[in-house]
Amino acid sequence: MTFFNIYKKPLYWLITLGVALLYVLIAIWIPQWSLIDYTLFKSTFTASQKIHILYETLGWFVTANTLTSQILTIVIALLAGINVALLVHYVSRRVRIVRTGGVGAIALVLSIFGVGCGACGSVILSSLFGLTVATGIAGFLPLKGLEFSLLSIVILIGSIVYSAHLIQQPLTCKP
């Protein structure tokens, strides 16, 4: 079954778009976690006010990120969605996973390091090493921290190609 045949089924479009949306929401809300935490768990806001505040935080994606960072985040989100959809298809065809999940998981974890703007390096890098150290590390990189996003894209594309190759193999064992 080819890549395009898989996407003839609406389920795989839903998986791809659902994962991509979830990834973008996480990328938007991680830097604002203290506000989200306060709004959802420590305040006396009504449910409609909480939803409104969450909705308003989505504007941060445009105002706090460069166009390059926005594009890379969306590309990574879509590639992560495709990767998960192919993995779901592969698992549904074969009960046992043969190393596909490992490459895909590595790519998805690395892609989280690419979330963030060039000014602060990345959100995860900042939380692991502190903002000052992360900014210093990102400052020494030639693309000011965008290397994490570019590496994630390369790994995700490799994982998608590998998954598509495995999907096209017959379900029988090789002699």
Q: What distance in Å separates the CA atoms of residue 69 and residue 152, rounded to the nearest whole number?
A: 13
Asked whether residue 135 carries a pLDDT value surpassing 50, the answer given is: no
H, E, C per residue of 16-29: HHHHHHHHHHHHHH
In angstroms, the first-to-last Cα distance of the chain is 22
pLDDT band at 15 (very low <50, low <70, confident <90, very high): very high
Tens digit of pLDDT for each residue in 24-37?
A: 998 888 888 898 88
Tens digit of pLDDT for each residue in 92-114?
A: 766 444 444 555 555 555 554 44
> What are the sequence ranges of the domains in the chain?
3-168
Q: What distance in Å separates the CA atoms of residue 144 and residue 150, rounded to the nearest whole number?
A: 12
Whole-number pLDDT of residue 96: 41
3-state percent helix, strand, coil for the chain, nearest multiple of 5: 75, 0, 25
Q: What distance in Å separates the CA atoms of residue 126 and residue 120, rounded to the nearest whole number?
A: 7
Asked whether residue 14 carries a pLDDT value surpassing 60, the answer given is: yes
